[in-house]
Amino acid sequence: MIEIMTIVLGLEGTAWNLSAAVVSEEDVLYDAESTYKPLQGGIHPREAAQHHASEMKEVVTRALRAVKEEGVLLKHIDAIAYSQGPGLGPCLRTVATAARALSISLKKPLIGVNHCIAHIEIGRWRCGTRDPVVLYVSGANTQVLAYRAGRYRVLGETLDIGLGNAIDKFARYLGLSHPGGPKIEEWASKSSNYVPLPYIIKGMDLSFSGLSTAAKDATDSHPGEKAGICYSFQETAFAMLTEVTERAMAHCSRDELLLAGGVGANKRLQQMLEIMCRDRGARFYVPESRYLKDNGSMIAYVGLIMYKNGDITPLEQSGVNPHYRPDDVKVTWRKSERFKS
Ligand code: ATP
Ligand code: FE2
């Protein structure tokens, strides 16, 4: 069986999480990871890249050893996939260098994967959703997307920073360590005292940097209200996301919503989206949290579906792109799917 299945090794390391995973057509076989933890403050791109470089051998070896126990040998691996962007330049270059070295030494094709598309496709795969509107909300990215005519179209996005980065910035101000999201969520659950904060939507686009600044100012003026301000930050930001997502679903006549990206782990965000979908008679899908945050499985999986469609990356086109957009990608693997227009 292993001989006839397509199997891909994928490397992820766009920011703080380095991961190597082996995926077959049927399942994730193994996902090994090593996470860079800044001693203080946020992610330092060069330090994160150094972490990835020093951990790469161990993480790749761990993944390959684990699948070997299941009978998957190097000769069964069909291709090497890696995240080509978007992400932090030094981290991307470290991962791409490792992927090129593996591709050349093992004589396997190389496949450059767009990290945002990988967040979407792993969710579609794991949840079995067909043609959803996608809310992708992570550290550096916040986008609402839907597939149409060969590409994922960005219907709305942040005009400045991603929501995760906005939350992390505010969390650092409160003295909380990185990543701030889960800690802010916990503080927020202790209050329901709403402090007005800026709700900024322009058409289908959103802005979060003013929200971080206003939350910091509110903390200075009401030092005893930290939990209330965390609650208000979440309520404001998540209501903005829910509004834009609902409009996208209405405009595109879609009755499925898929949540993607690390911020998607937040239970209050999930609850708001769930209520909105229920009110519209739509279905709401959230993958397991290990597939929401950055993971190697999503890169290996998109590598696999690209490989099966002959979509491989020649060495001379394997350079990284820190600003690689999902709508730059020609989707080669959904041609055979038929949808209502
Ligand atoms: P990308 O390159 O796609 O932007 P990323 O490097 O930001 O990815 P992810 O793992 O997708 O990585 O997302 C990390 C972000 O998710 C961090 O900003 C973190 O604070 C946030 N986050 C994680 N858990 C929660 C939570 N429970 N609530 C809110 N935010 C969360
Ligand atoms: Fe990510």
Which residues touch 137 (CB under 8 Å, ≥6 apart)?
A: 143, 162, 163, 164, 241, 259, 260, 261, 262, 263, 264, 269
pTM, rounded to two decimals: 0.96
Which residues touch 224 (CB under 8 Å, ≥6 apart)?
A: none
Taking the CA of residue 115 as reference, the ligand 1 atom at the shortest distance is 3
Ligand 1: lining residues by beta carbon, under 6 Å: 14-15, 87, 115, 138-141, 162, 164-165, 167-168, 179-182, 185, 261-263, 265-266, 293-294
Burial of 2 (0-12, 13-18, 19+ CB in 10 A): middle
Question: Which domains can be identified in the chain, with CATH numbers?
Answer: 7-120+291-334 (3.30.420.40), 131-287 (3.30.420.40)
71-111 pLDDT, tens digit per residue, is 999 999 999 999 999 999 999 999 999 999 999 999 999 99
Residue type, 199: Y
Taking the CA of residue 163 as reference, the ligand 1 atom at the shortest distance is 18
Q: Please name the residue that has the structure tokens 């767009």.
A: 114
Q: What pairs with residue 20 in β-bridges?
A: 11, 32
How far does residue 302's CA lie from ligand 2's centre (Å)? 14
Residue 178 confidence (pLDDT): 86
Q: To the nearest 5 percent, what fractions of the chain are helix, strand and coil? A: 45, 20, 35
Confidence of residue 273 (pLDDT cuts 50, 70, 90): very high
Residue 323 confidence (pLDDT): 97
Which residues touch 55 (CB under 8 Å, ≥6 apart)?
A: 18, 34
CB 153 within 8 A of CB 145: yes
Confidence of residue 340 (pLDDT cuts 50, 70, 90): very low
Name the percent of the chain lying above pLDDT 70.
99
